[in-house]
Amino acid sequence: MGRAALVVHGGAGAPNQEEHGERQAAVDRALAAGWPELERSGALHAVLAAVRWMEDEPILNAGIGACLNSEGEIELDAGVMEGAQLRAGAVGAVRDVRHPVDLARAIMDDGRHVLLVAGGASRFAREHGVETCDPSVFMTERQLRNFRREGVDTVGAVAADAEGRTAVAVSTGGYTFKLPGRVGDSPLVGAGFYADDAAGAVCGTGHGEGFMRLVLAHLAVVELKHGMGAQEVAKGAIDFLRRKVDGEGGVILVTKAGEVAAAHNTPFMAWASRTD
């Protein structure tokens, strides 16, 4: 048993310095939304609450305000995993699911599959009572202004509760001007997220192709199993990302004992943490 801990991030790829304060404030609100769930219901409910909150923050690249692909459309990815039984659920390239992280949770609970994409994922949402919406709901004036400005962001959360249970949840719109149908690391178990109660939980943010090629989140959890400290693992993961594939991004992590860490090689990453 350890201490309860929650870490939340709002992306490491914001090029607009004027938005840094707004992004950090949104992450702080998500931390405040997730913490009561951690105390009341445990790690899984905490990360879902935090990420769901960020899907409603227009300043962040998830849900409302997500970036546009090369055809000016929004396609959303999300994933969730709990570390007790390594259950996971994920969704990719959906356009009409109000909270993609809710759909990822429903897929995990259903248990037949880990990842559903595009039209099949939307159909699953309708059949299982997950809220859908018109895609225009996600459009904001900010994202239309930024249509051709480079942007790579994700939102995510990792948690460990007092019983030693770990969980992670992620959500993203990908990156600006991506090809239609592109799916990044966020819904791929082991690439953008991973949780194992034997060690901890990790979540990444940045250009997802590098995380995918390195299976970086799982690698970080393995290093925790080998006994490396939380901050050493976080920094090592980002150093490895740069060294092997010239990648940019960040990670947040929590150990099963409630130790938290974060690292990034971008100029800015919005993140916040709390422990008991």
Task: Indicate the domain borders of the chain.
Answer: 5-261
Residue where the block lists tokens 């300043």: 59
The per-residue pLDDT for 97 is 98
Show the low-confidence residues of the chain (pLDDT under 50): none
Find all residues with CB under 8 Å of 164, minimum gap 6, and list them.
1, 2, 197, 256, 257
The per-residue pLDDT for 153 is 76
The per-residue pLDDT for 140 is 82
The per-residue pLDDT for 75 is 96
> How many other C-beta atoms are found inside a 10 Å radius of the C-beta of residue 131?
12
Query: Catalytic site residues?
Result: 154
The per-residue pLDDT for 234 is 98
The per-residue pLDDT for 148 is 52
The per-residue pLDDT for 1 is 65
The per-residue pLDDT for 201 is 98
Distance of alpha carbon 202 from alpha carbon 205, whole angstroms: 10
Identity (one letter) of the amino acid at 123? R
The per-residue pLDDT for 151 is 57
> How many other C-beta atoms are found inside a 10 Å radius of the C-beta of residue 217?
31
Q: Is 15 helix (H, G, I), strand (E, B) or coil?
A: coil
Fold type of domain 5-261: Glutamine Phosphoribosylpyrophosphate, subunit 1, domain 1 (3.60.20)
Q: At what angle do helices 20-41 and 43-54 cross, to 10 degrees?
A: 150
